Amino acid sequence: MKIYTKTGDRGQTDLLGGVRVDKDDLRVEVYGTFDEVNSFIGLLRTKLDHKHEWQNNLHTIQVELMNTMSHLATPQGKENLNTLPLPDGMDVFCEKWIDELEGKLSSRSEFFVLPGGNEVSALCHVVRSQLRRGERNLITLHKQEPVNRSILFFVNRLSDLFFSLSRAATEEAGLTEEKWKAFLFQREA
């Protein structure tokens, strides 16, 4: 079987069920963004030792993202064709991991930190920001065609999780987070 089909040469692609849409269709944009996220999670995993304590959970997230993308590639009216599981309970999975990570940190959570620290922390911030972009597009899609709520919950918790992972990676490396302080205007007397 050849990897190329030439069916997309005119700027269209198939959704699940054979529905043809333009490659810049919002649904394609949404699952394409989560494909980017999944690729960067794969890159993050290569930066960790294969026995690192995060590996299994990150693998689980990658599998659930693949399942989620398949649901996002399924247009309304074709849901019965998709037999892959929805990410039911993945929001709770993420919450438990966040609580575990935050419980081990020596300092309280700062919501405004400059992305960086080390390579692993910076990659976690890249994933977090991609997830936020994907979530914005997902909400737009949800307004047009309702998306299963478990997908909305999962994606929202994932960005929080990758923020906590970035903090944990920074601390694990013995580094200090660079906190961002907003410029405050002085009041005139």
**189 belongs to a structural domain:** no
State which residues form the domain around 156. Answer: 13-73+85-172
**101 belongs to a structural domain:** yes
What sign does the dihedral 7-8-11-15 (CA atoms) show?
positive
Q: Residue 43's pLDDT is what? A: 98
Residue 21 maps to which CATH number?
1.20.1200.10
**CA 182, CA 34: separation in Å to the nearest integer?**
31
**138 belongs to a structural domain:** yes
**136 belongs to a structural domain:** yes
**179 belongs to a structural domain:** no
Closest CA to 110 of 156, 167, 56, 160: 167
**105 belongs to a structural domain:** yes
Q: Residue 30's pLDDT is what? A: 95
For residue 76, how many other CB atoms are within 10 A of its CB?
11
Length, in residues, of the chain: 189
Q: Residue 122's pLDDT is what? A: 95
* 3 state SS for 18-43: CCEEECCCHHHHHHHHHHHHHHHHHH
110-144 burial, b if ≥16 CB within 10 A, otherwise e? eeebebebeebbbbbbbbbebbbbbbebbeebbee
**183 belongs to a structural domain:** no
How many structural domains does the chain have? 1
**CA 160, CA 31: separation in Å to the nearest integer?**
19
Q: Residue 177's pLDDT is what? A: 75
Q: Residue 36's pLDDT is what? A: 97
**184 belongs to a structural domain:** no
Q: Residue 44's pLDDT is what? A: 98
pLDDT by 10s per residue, the chain, length 189: 777 777 677 777 777 777 887 678 899 999 999 999 999 999 999 999 999 999 999 999 999 999 999 999 988 888 888 888 899 999 999 999 999 999 998 876 666 776 778 999 999 999 999 999 999 999 999 999 999 999 999 999 999 999 999 999 999 988 777 677 665 555 555
**CA 113, CA 94: separation in Å to the nearest integer?**
21
Closest CA to 97 of 57, 47, 132: 57
